[in-house]
A and B are shown apart, each in its own frame.
Chain A
Amino acid sequence: MHRALVLAIALFATGARAQSGDGNFADPAHFRQQDGAALYRGICQGCHMPEGQGAVGAGAYPALAHNRKLAAAGYPVLVVLQGSKGMPGFAAMLNDAQIAGVVSYVRSHFGNDYADPVMAADVASARH
C-alpha cells in the first residue's frame, strides 16, 4: 500500500490529536525529535520533570535546573549515552546530533548558563 494512502487513512481515522507532528511516537527503536527542546519534552521531562526540577519519592531524580554537574559537557554526554545507576543509557535510541542537541538545551536552560555548545563530534568521540 502506498504511504500516502496509509497516511490518509490514519488522518481520517484518528483526527489530529494523536498525530506525531514533532516526531513524537514515530519509531519504537529511535527517537525522531531533532532539536534539543523537543527531545527534552519527549524524553527527559518524564523523570527530570518539565522545569528540570527533578522529583523525590523513595529515591530521587536529580534536578537538572541549576545543576553544577553540567558545567563540563562531557559528564552529561556520558550519562545520556551510558545511563547512571537506575537511569538507562540512550546510546542506541539517540544519534550523536540528538544527544548534542538535548545536552546543549539542558545546559542553556533551567537556570543553567553554559554557553559552549556540545557538538555531535563530541558525542561521537565519547561513544568510543
Chain B
Amino acid sequence: MTDLDRPPMKRRDLLALIGAAAGGSVMYQAMTSLGHAAESNYRPLALDGNAKGASVLVLGAGLAGLVAAYELRKAGYKVQVLEYGERAGGRCWSLRGGDRYTELGGFAQTCAFDAGHYLNPGPWRIPFHHHAILDYCKRLKVALEPFIQVNYNAYLHAKGAFGGKPQRLRHVNADFSGGVAELLGKAAHQGKLDDAVSKEDQEILLEALRAWGGLDRNFAYTAGEAASARRGYDVDPGGGLNGAPTPSTPVGLSDILKSRLWQGIAQGAQYEFQTTMFQPKGGMDMIAKAFVREVGTLIRYDAKVTAIRQDDKRVTVTYVDAKKGGAKRQASADWCVCTIPLSILGQIEMTVGAKMAAAITAVPYVPAVKIGLQFKRRFWEEDEAIYGGITTTDLPIRNIGYPCADYGSPGKGVLLGCYAIFNTFAFEFGALPPAERVAKAVDWGAMIHPQYRDEFDSGVAVAWQRNPASLGCFANWSEEARKTHYADLCQIDGRIALAGEHASYLPAWQEGAILSSLDAVARLHRRVVAG
C-alpha cells in the first residue's frame, strides 16, 4: 500500500497524535484552533476595532435583541432597545403561578401553578450542539440541568393501536429491533442475503444482529433473558428467596408494524434531539433574566414600533406606548438591529429596498399550541415510574411532557399536557378559548393517564398564533422561499440589519436567533470600523 492509498488524516487522528506527543494543554489549544465545534458556525464574538461612538437601536428584546445589545454595548456602542412587551425574552418565556397572560382577542388567563412550577410556552430544550446559547448560559451563569428527551418508560400511544392502551417506548423499541433482527437473521440463514453480503460479512452481521436485537443463541427474538434484557421483565430481578425474574414476552413484529407506533421510536435519534439536551433550572426565561441583568437598563418596554425609516445618516424609529397609545415618539441611532418577527415587521412601514421588503413578507408563521396542566400529585412518577421525557400520541394533544426536575417531590406537579404544532390541531386548539383548550387536553390526556380525572388541578394554554408580540410561533421557510429571499433578508440594507430565528437555518431554535444576531452584529461592526 502506498501513501496515496491512505485516506487523508482525520481531525481526530491528528488530535490523538498531538495529544500523545505533547500532552493535554497543547491538545486543548489544538482542539480550539482546529475547531472542536467545527459543526457549528458559532465563535465567541470578538468585536475588535473602534466603534467610534456610534449608536445602535435594537428593536425587540428577545434573545436576538438581547444578544445584540449585550455584544454591541461591550464593544463600545451606545445602545438602546425598544420592546413591545412588558418583559424581555420574547419567546424565551416561562409562565408561573400569578402570571397573567392576555392573548389577542382579549382572552385572559392567570396561571394558578404552585410556587416552583412553570410552563415554557416557547422553547423548552437546548441540544448539546447549540454552542452559542450554551456558551451564553455559561458566561451569564444560567444553571442548566438535563432535559430528558428520551424516556424508555414513557409511552407511545395511538387510538387505534393495542386497543388504545399506551405502550412503553421500551417495549415498542425492543420489539421492533428484535423483530427486524430476527427476520434479517433468518434471511441470512436461508441464504437470501448471499447476493448482497459476503459470507464473511454475514457471520459478522449475524453477531451484530444478535447483539443489537436482543436475540437468543438461536437467533430468535423470544421470551427469555436476551429479549427481557431489552424490553424488561414481567417481574424484575429481585433479592432473596423469591428474587428470580420472570421474563416478558415480546409483541410480534406484525403487530408492531401495524400499530405504526414505530413512528415514535427514532425521535431521540434525530440530531436535534440527541442526548444530552438541557434546560435552564427553574424555567427557560432564566436566560432572558440573565441578559436583563446585563443590559436591562437599555430596554424601553411597552414600545410598539410603527415605522422604521432611514436615510444615509441615521435610522429613525417611530413608536407608541403599546398599552396607552397616545403620542408618537421617536428614537434614532446611527444603525439599527431589527429583531421584530417577520409576521409583525411585514406590517410596519419601513424604508428598505425592494428585495428586503419582499423577503420580509415572504414567510408564513407556524401555529403552535402548548398547554400546561397542574396536577395534585406526580402520579406519572408515583404510579408509572415516568421520570421526565415525553409521551407521544396521535391524539390532538400530540405530546405529554413530564417535568425533568424535582423528581419525587411532594405536592403538585406540572405536565406539558399538549404540544401541537404545524398541524390542523394547532389551528383548532387556537380557535378555542383557553379554558376549553385546557378542558380538551385533560379529556384527551385521560385516555393515556386515567389519573387525570381525579388529579387535575389547573391549566394554562398558549396558542402562539394568538400571541400579540409574534402572531405565530416561528418563520416557516419553504425551500423555494429560502432560495429566493433568504440572502436578501440577511443582507444589511443601508443602516438596518435584521436578526432573529427567522434569519437563520435553525427555525424556532434559540440558537438560530443568537447565531443570526451575532452574524448581523459582526457584519455591522465591520462596516462601522471600515466606515
Q: Which residues of A contact B (CB under 8 A)?
A: 1, 3, 5-6, 9-10, 13-15, 17-18, 24-25, 27-31, 41-47, 49-50, 55-61, 83, 85-89, 93
Query: CA of A93 to CA of B450 in the docked complex: distance in angstroms?
Result: 32
Using a Cβ cutoff of 8 Å, how many contacts connect chains A and B? 127
> CB-defined interface of B462-489 with A at 8 Å, one 1/0 digit per residue?
0101111111100010000000000000
B413 at the interface (CB under 8 A from A): no
Given contacts A5-B163, A25-B428, A57-B467, 19 further A-B contacts (CB under 8 A): A13-B447, A14-B444, A17-B443, A18-B440, A27-B424, A28-B394, A28-B396, A41-B431, A46-B367, A46-B431, A57-B471, A58-B84, A58-B304, A59-B346, A59-B348, A61-B104, A86-B344, A86-B346, A88-B476
Least CB separation from B106: chain A residue:
A55
Query: Could you say which of A10, A31, A44, A85 contacts B447, with CB atoms under 8 Å apart?
Result: A10
The reply to whether B104 and A47 contact each other, CB–CB distance below 8 Å, is: yes
B301 at the interface (CB under 8 A from A): no
24 contacts between A and B (CB under 8 A): A6-B160, A9-B164, A10-B164, A10-B447, A13-B164, A13-B447, A17-B443, A18-B440, A28-B423, A29-B424, A31-B427, A43-B428, A46-B427, A46-B428, A46-B431, A47-B104, A47-B430, A50-B105, A58-B470, A83-B364, A86-B346, A86-B364, A87-B365, A88-B365
Least CB separation from B422: chain A residue:
A28
For residue B522, give the distance in angstroms from its CB to the closest CB of chain A: 27
Query: CA of A89 to CA of B365 in the docked complex: distance in angstroms?
Result: 10
Interface size on B, residues (CB 8 A): 50
B385 at the interface (CB under 8 A from A): no
B446 at the interface (CB under 8 A from A): yes
Chain B residues whose C-beta falls within 8 Å of the C-beta of A50 in the assembled complex: 105
The reply to whether B431 and A88 contact each other, CB–CB distance below 8 Å, is: no
Query: CA of A83 to CA of B427 in the docked complex: distance in angstroms?
Result: 14
Chain B residues whose C-beta falls within 8 Å of the C-beta of A15 in the assembled complex: 443
The 10 closest A-B pairs by CB, nearest first: A57-B468, A86-B343, A18-B443, A46-B431, A55-B104, A46-B430, A59-B344, A88-B364, A28-B423, A58-B84
Chain A residues whose C-beta falls within 8 Å of the C-beta of B346 in the assembled complex: 59, 85-86
Query: DSSP majority for the B interface?
Result: loop
Chain A residues whose C-beta falls within 8 Å of the C-beta of B394 in the assembled complex: 28
For residue A6, give the distance in angstroms from its CB to the closest CB of chain B: 5
Knowing A9-B163, A58-B340, A88-B364, the reply to whether A17 touches B439 (Cβ < 8 A) is yes
Query: CA of A56 to CA of B347 in the docked complex: distance in angstroms?
Result: 11
> CB-defined interface of B359-393 with A at 8 Å, one 1/0 digit per residue?
00101111100000000000000000000000000
Query: Could you say which of B447, B463, B465, B467 contacts A14, with CB atoms under 8 Å apart?
Result: B447
Chain B residues whose C-beta falls within 8 Å of the C-beta of A41 in the assembled complex: 431
Chain A residues whose C-beta falls within 8 Å of the C-beta of B470 in the assembled complex: 58
Chain A residues whose C-beta falls within 8 Å of the C-beta of B343 in the assembled complex: 59, 85-86
Query: CA of A42 to CA of B476 in the docked complex: distance in angstroms?
Result: 22
Query: Could you say which of B105, B366, B439, B446 contacts A13, with CB atoms under 8 Å apart?
Result: B446
Query: Could you say which of A14, A24, A85 contacts B446, with CB atoms under 8 Å apart?
Result: A14
Query: CA of A57 to CA of B365 in the docked complex: distance in angstroms?
Result: 15
Query: CA of A120 to CA of B440 in the docked complex: distance in angstroms?
Result: 33
Query: CA of A50 to CA of B440 in the docked complex: distance in angstroms?
Result: 19
B342 at the interface (CB under 8 A from A): yes
Considering the complex, which residues of chain B in the window 65-85 have a beta carbon less than 8 Å from any beta carbon of chain A? 84
The reply to whether A58 and B344 contact each other, CB–CB distance below 8 Å, is: yes
> CB-defined interface of B290-309 with A at 8 Å, one 1/0 digit per residue?
00000000000000110000
Q: Which residues of B contact A (CB under 8 A)?
A: 84, 104-105, 159-160, 163-164, 304-305, 322, 340-344, 346-348, 361, 363-367, 394, 396, 423-425, 427-428, 430-431, 439-440, 443-444, 446-447, 450, 463, 465-472, 476
The reply to whether A6 and B164 contact each other, CB–CB distance below 8 Å, is: yes
For residue A117, give the distance in angstroms from its CB to the closest CB of chain B: 24
The reply to whether A45 and B471 contact each other, CB–CB distance below 8 Å, is: no
The reply to whether A59 and B347 contact each other, CB–CB distance below 8 Å, is: yes
Query: CA of A70 to CA of B379 in the docked complex: distance in angstroms?
Result: 52
The reply to whether A89 and B105 contact each other, CB–CB distance below 8 Å, is: no
The reply to whether B428 and A24 contact each other, CB–CB distance below 8 Å, is: yes
For residue B485, give the distance in angstroms from its CB to the closest CB of chain A: 13
For residue B216, give the distance in angstroms from its CB to the closest CB of chain A: 30
Chain A residues whose C-beta falls within 8 Å of the C-beta of B322 in the assembled complex: 58
Chain B residues whose C-beta falls within 8 Å of the C-beta of A31 in the assembled complex: 424, 427-428
Query: CA of A25 to CA of B470 in the docked complex: distance in angstroms?
Result: 25
Chain B residues whose C-beta falls within 8 Å of the C-beta of A56 in the assembled complex: 104
For residue A52, give the distance in angstroms from its CB to the closest CB of chain B: 12
The reply to whether B466 and A46 contact each other, CB–CB distance below 8 Å, is: yes
For residue B60, give the distance in angstroms from its CB to the closest CB of chain A: 9
Most buried by B among A3, A13, A59: A59
Chain A residues whose C-beta falls within 8 Å of the C-beta of B476 in the assembled complex: 88
Most buried by B among A5, A88, A93: A88
The reply to whether A57 and B430 contact each other, CB–CB distance below 8 Å, is: no
Query: CA of A93 to CA of B425 in the docked complex: distance in angstroms?
Result: 11
Chain A residues whose C-beta falls within 8 Å of the C-beta of B305 in the assembled complex: 58
Query: CA of A46 to CA of B468 in the docked complex: distance in angstroms?
Result: 13
Chain A residues whose C-beta falls within 8 Å of the C-beta of B104 in the assembled complex: 47, 49, 55-57, 61
Least CB separation from B448: chain A residue:
A13
